[in-house]
Structure 1
Amino acid sequence: MKFLKPCIALTVLVLSSAVYALPEITVASLPWSEDTLGVKALDSTLSYLSSELKGKYEIKHVSLPAEELKKAVTENKVDYFISNSLFYTSVSASSGGQTAARIAVLWNPRTSSPTYGEGATIVVRKDSNIHALSDLQEKSLFVPSQNDTFTYLSLLGEIAKSGHQPREFFKSVEYGDGKHKTVIEKVLSKEADIGVVRTCYLEEHPNYEVESQLRVVNLKDFPVINCKTSTDLYLGTIFAATAEADPYLNRLILKTLLEMPAENGYIWTAGGNLSASHALLQTLNAEQYGSLSQKFFFRKLQEHADVLILLALIVAGLISHSIRSNYLIEKRTKELKEIQKTFNETTQKLNNMQKVGLIGLMSSMIGHELKQPLTIIMNYLQGLKVQSKTGKLDAKNILTALTQIETQTVRANAIIQRVRSYAKQEKPQVQSVNFNQLIHKAVTYLNQTAQRHVKVSLKLPKKEVVVQAEPTDLELSVYNLLKNAADACTEVKKPEITVELTEDSRVELKIFDNAPEIDEETFKNLGTLFKSSKQNGLGLGLAIVKRVAEANGGRLEFQKDEAGRLFVILSLPKFEERN
């Protein structure tokens, strides 16, 4: 009997621990031992998830070779997995896109978008006679590790595009211990002719003595990244859910990742484009690639562009027929109601996509910027509808309204084409822009879209001020600044905005308003993505303006006057300085 009580207590303890065991979340990944800041961010990610979900879930991390990880994902033996974009695309291809779903993407701080987060850099000794891709043939190559297929495949993709057979290109391929430092050492010691490392490794681990002995081969000029790269750029590291992962838990994981503090500048974000990864796997004829899903982001862009073009054709037909008779006016009014319904649905879809947060920066930019032309178009459509009901609709009013609709339709299409050029890494079409006229145009758009009247005072020089910039980018930037000033004056009875343009050593646009003083926390977060003083705001407007300014050799600054009120300065190089 004296042993009975302790046995009962032990039994109760074991049973209670089993009953109250936390649900386990299994996060799998390829083995990582690389000495990069991106990998350090992944280690911090697992620690942060464990800390934030403590008491709710138990995080378990497993490291698996590529084939085992692929099997575990397709058979739903893990809940989530972390991988490069090529592995993710390959896994999705094997099931037509039904196996995995992207949750978030790791954003490299040296790039303008997570779409261009990773690539490969080819290094050789400076005294080597290797200067071009063709010189790499029949040379010995050293790769960080056998698990780092991304770096190796990125290099093979460049070789395939140059017209060579990548699998039979090198004399030998040797794999290291996972550390990029080992690759550099092998090249400098002449144990390997060529080394390949992750893009941005050299910039993240600066060593002048080492770099002075190396040369980068096949150096590409990509303005979207502040690193030396020898290959095309691909989407950054992906945090993905398997097919049977709990949707509620997916939302919780996404929220936690987006709120995670930056680790050496790396942050988790949503969206990004996989088209470069698809193209690389097609080039290399990767296994089972033929069943890839076609539901890519730019397909949606093309669909919206077709709707806008179709609208322009319908409106053009309406102009010629409405003038002839009241019967045709009634007929076209009915068509306009259908068009208005279509635009309402399109706008609602864009808003919903932004709130979910899974479409990323590129799609969020479109939703953010298309609201302005769509709002103007809908205002004119509603005006035609009201005039039709009151019997005041005539040919002159129709022509005026439809001219404005056509103008805004062309403008919306220009915005879409501009965003597409970002994803394609196309250089902006810089040209001379009359800054005075552009400001007047932006003020006109503000008046057409503002919820209430805002007094705008212009202090512009009589002399024409010319800058070198991409017109659509600069126009959207000025409009965003004006709209932010107007939104800040929501609680002011008589909102006022002052726009001042000066030209001295640089061209400066200053925008003042009479909004209330803002607190230091809000002031500190201005221009930062995912930090906004507006409810449901993503902080996109100012972030877009900031990057446009920097891309054109300028800058965006925020200052306070003596009363503590905010004003913004957009500074650009003078026309002669830019030339």
Structure 2
Amino acid sequence: MTKRFSSGCMAVVFIALTLFLHPARAIAEPTIRIGVSSVVEVDPFVRHTLKELSEAMSDYPLVFEVMPPTQVLSASKKREFDFLIVGPQTMVLLDQLGLAHAIASERSSFSNKADHALALTIVKHKITPEADIARVGLIGPIDSVKGTLIKEVLSSKRTLAEKVQVNYFDSLKELIDSFKTGTIDAMALEPCTLEKNLTLLKNVIVIRETVTDIGQCSISQASYPKTQFAALNGVPADLTDTVAATLKTIFYNGHSTWVPSVSLLPIRHLLEKHKVKEYLAVQPMSIQHLLDRFFYFIVTIVGVVLLFVIHSFLAEVTVRKQTNKLLEIQHAKEEAERDARDKQSKMESLERLNIVGQMSSMIAHELKQPLTSLENYLNALSLLVQKEPQDKLMMEYSISKMIESNRKAAEIIDHVRQYAKSAKSIRTVINVSTLAAKIFRDFEFRTKIEKNLLIQFRASIVPNIYVEADELELSLAIYNVLKNALDAVKSKENAQISLEVRSDGSNCMIVVSDNGESLSNEQKENLFNPLRSSKADGIGLGVAIVKRIMEAHAGRLEFNFGREGLSAILILPMCSQV
């Protein structure tokens, strides 16, 4: 015989009593089997519902059976019941499996809305940081929805809400004692429990506090649908209507009652968010489920597609309007590029002519030595020819020296011609110390003797610093900065020009300094600008030429502006002596 329902989760059978009181009708009416989840069986409202159903439907044989939520699912699959009273999570699973549908939802005593019937008041000590809460106490039995609800309330202050441990207690006294002794960090109470026990609970605060619309009791912010009364799919519609109509007449505690079923979508979202495994394991792939689960996502995708279509149409119109403008801009750009290339070509030609012009004075001085040697050896050879007997060995020596001097002069001229024709530079390992010293001595001699200028020259040269460079181009760069220094001081008394060659271990630095007049801001800004010269007879290409030579050799040109004069610094990477 089925056990009578009691606080010890017992079932009650009214079949014998019904047959005795109404034998004729009892045989005619079918037996109504109602399964009750053990999670909701302890709720006074559910117990009151069972009692009221037994009295209101006394003409029907009623059988109630209490069982854990997991057994509710298996029993429903076997169709062992007609109706079920379950928590919201079990109702979601039943609906997903297509086993049952809700016909009524509980409206609690503290809210006018059935979808806010499930709420908790989570309290903590005032001095306990919310982020440090790791253990929360709750009056049993084990309820996964309430446990998930606790994690939802605390999730705003935690990176992993799953770290919260929920402990279940048999009574409110045990729960409060554990809270006071520190066994748990917070308590999850039923709504209005805090207000009824203010003398026992002091120096506590409610996490994410809000108030109920009935009774103005403090609760934590999140609230959801609660107990559901469900009919298994396939139960006759008239029987379902009879039970639903009876439920509407049941009231408890002045306000709690059954109302038409509400949407359980918030419960679905809660279970999804916290990845409750029981929920994830039984998700059916139906169109309705997909709509329920991904409604906002689908709406978003549709909206994005519509926006994309509208944007594409507007973009097409805009493109057509802008095509002609873009073509005009492109034509103008091509024309500007052609003009720029022409100007650049002219500029390079002008620079190269200027370089060749500057080279001429250097080369003239360089050619003096081989030409003078050639002349001397010719004179010596003339004397040897007239001398008797003739010194054949000395004549051969003179002829070889003449050939050597001629070849040296030809090499100098060929190098200049190659550079003028844009030939590639010829790079070799050069002793910068020796080259700079020679150019500086020659420049000093020509300045003092040929130009008759009284200028003090000073040199400080670290010996044997080597770089890989084109000797002619490097000579031209050094000559240019020396010439600029001379132009700056040639009209000044106590004029000075100094040369310093040093290294920092990886770079060679050739520093040419003068004590001429300091440069204005405009002159500093235009220092690297071709065709902008402060000299009346200059075209401003000297610095640009030196800069280009330095950059072609992976180096750079820098300036140091002092109170008086200017220092030009040629920086080149060093190399090892070959």
Q: What TM-score do you get using the length of structure 2 for normalisation?
A: 0.42
Q: What TM-score do you get using the length of structure 1 for normalisation?
A: 0.42
Q: Which has the larger radius of gyration?
A: 2
Q: Which has the higher contact order (CA 8 A, sep 6+)?
A: 1
